[in-house]
A and B are shown apart, each in its own frame.
Chain A
Amino acid sequence: MTDIVTIKDVFAVNPYGKTFTFDWDAKVRPGQFIMVWAPGMDEIPLSLSSVDKEKSITFKTIGNDTRKLFNMKKGDELRIRGPYGNGYTLDRRKKTLVVGGGIGIAPLLPVIKMISADAVFAARDRQELEYSIPLAKEFCEKYWIATDDGSLGFHGNAVDLVREVMRDNRYDMIIACGPEIMLFFLHKYCIETGIDCQMSLERHMKCGCGLCGACMIDDQRVCVDGPVFTGDQIARMKDFGHCSRDASGTLVRFR
């Protein structure tokens, strides 16, 4: 589905990130994404940070396109298409912990709202994740914060905090979104300890709907077969944590 939506409200989540809300009557599951475009930028994939009747996207400025978005105002219009991808499989009967890193916290907010999952949120510093705390307070029974600089909560990374949390708590499912390096070590931890997990992965995206093959991880299309993959699926991926493909399809190793 392709639509033009109007930005209803703009919230600064931190000095370099914003949330745009907009009315869009599509049915969206947590973890699904849309392709977002306006003149002056390239079209980019963004996961929804709210999937109620009023939808939202939350992004941080990392390049030209997100900078262009950052400068948009209430009343401006966006061309969006989607929703694309599978989204998370949510089950209230499974005690679930969401683990979000950096801007990867945002797509997990609808999950904690929907099934009252507990949360580990991690970021570089307090400023980056503070916006998520009111929601965590409202919907999580328990939540924990980690910052790289120690400015709030646990001084360290998300995976180290998850290890701490699991000493005294038991979860059946971990649902995670964040930088691949975080997911790589979190996945290792889940495999070692036998906890089921679902992780949202990211690759260079073009068509968004399973045709062009730009976003392949091994033989999986991130846009349609994912972006959410199970721990077992991820365990079979040789690319995960090691390499991705650039816009030309050239394999780029990062580990």
Chain B
Amino acid sequence: MNALRVKIGGLEFDNPGMVASGIMDETGLSMVRMFSSGAGAVVSKSIGSLPNPGHPNPNFTEVPSGCINAMGLPNPGIDAFAEEMGIATPKGKVIGSIYAATPEEFAVLAGRMEDFGACAVELNLSCPHARGYGIEVGTDPVLVTKIVSAVKSTVSIPVWAKLTPNTHILTEIGKAVESGDGDAIVAINTLKAMIIAPEFGRPVLSNKIGGLSGEAIKPVGVRAVYDLRKAVSIPIIGVGGISDYRDALEYIMAGASAFQIGTAIMNRGPEIFRTINEDLMDFMERYGYRSMGDMVGVAND
């Protein structure tokens, strides 16, 4: 499977598929299971300074061609997460996702993740349903540069920033990550969304607003990666609505060096990674691509 190997900055992965943050990645053993299903890496649940139960149920619902969730960043807190990372990191590459309200808090959490054995950190600058976090710190380019710089000066592992599509200045934010010396951009997080039950005359989610994921958002994500590729020169990891190899290739050809999968695990199970890896190999052989790198951004050149 050498053809599937990808390099993102100084990091190498056996294959380009990663588990997106928030999916099957809150416990050590769930991450281990995703490695054994063929994922090249797992991005952890977004971890904060303190335990957080998240928003009450209902915080998730299916909609045609996707899901809407407002989990509200549930996590056991950075201290308790040491044990989960201790179980997962000997078995594969874990990118530690973290969320915080200030550059200083991000830096502290990132340092802990490095101590726990994370191969990189992913800064959650994009969660659309948690007050004071995510999108609320991730749509101000000045603050984004400050956060990325603060983390960069604290850790020696690569720093990735996960961005939101809920903005008209996506490429400016991408450039802000680059000028903070960020190592890669992950795009996109979920799209702000709502579902109302007409019978009850009110929104279904306890948080009212959630984030749309799944097939429905793939064209939005592909466009975002395409635009970012033109604006920045650091690597991009594509995420949003990928459920088969052709979806993954759209992101790759728009300019992503690797991709992440979340919602599709619902219908296709953890085994989706193995299937996509095999299908990518077949595609590359048929169309004469010798490496993943050969395909990155071809639609953009």
Interface residues of A, Cβ cutoff 8 Å to B: 1-2, 4, 35, 37-39, 42-44, 77, 79, 81, 205-214, 216, 218-219, 221, 224, 245-251
| B166 beta carbon closer than 8 Å to chain A | no
Contact in complex: A212, B75 (CB < 8 Å):
no
- Rounded to whole angstroms, the CA-CA distance of A109 and B23 in the bound complex is 34
- Number of B residues, CB within 8 Å of A: 42
Interface residues of B, Cβ cutoff 8 Å to A: 22-27, 29-30, 32-33, 45, 51-54, 56-62, 67, 69, 71, 74-77, 80, 83, 197, 199-200, 202, 204, 206, 262-263, 265-266, 269
Contact in complex: B57, A43 (CB < 8 Å):
yes
CB-CB under 8 A for A251 and B80, given A206-B71, A211-B67, A219-B29? yes
CB-CB under 8 A for A248 and B61, given A38-B200, A210-B265, A213-B27? no
- Rounded to whole angstroms, the CA-CA distance of A182 and B248 in the bound complex is 47
Main DSSP-derived SS at the B contact region:
loop
Contact in complex: B200, A39 (CB < 8 Å):
yes
Write the nearest CB–CB distance from A160 to chain B, whole angstroms: 33
Contact in complex: B75, A248 (CB < 8 Å):
yes
Write the nearest CB–CB distance from A60 to chain B, whole angstroms: 19
By beta carbon, the residue of chain A nearest B57 is: A43
By beta carbon, the residue of chain B nearest A245 is: B27
- Rounded to whole angstroms, the CA-CA distance of A250 and B24 in the bound complex is 15
A4 contacts which chain B residues (CB < 8 A)? Answer: 197, 199
B45 contacts which chain A residues (CB < 8 A)? Answer: 213, 249
Contact in complex: A210, B27 (CB < 8 Å):
no
CB-CB under 8 A for A218 and B51, given A37-B204, A81-B61, A212-B71? no
Task: Find B263's partner among A211, A247, A250 (CB 8 Å cutoff).
Answer: A211
Contact in complex: A249, B76 (CB < 8 Å):
yes
B29 contacts which chain A residues (CB < 8 A)? Answer: 216, 218-219
- Rounded to whole angstroms, the CA-CA distance of A245 and B26 in the bound complex is 10
Contact in complex: B57, A209 (CB < 8 Å):
no
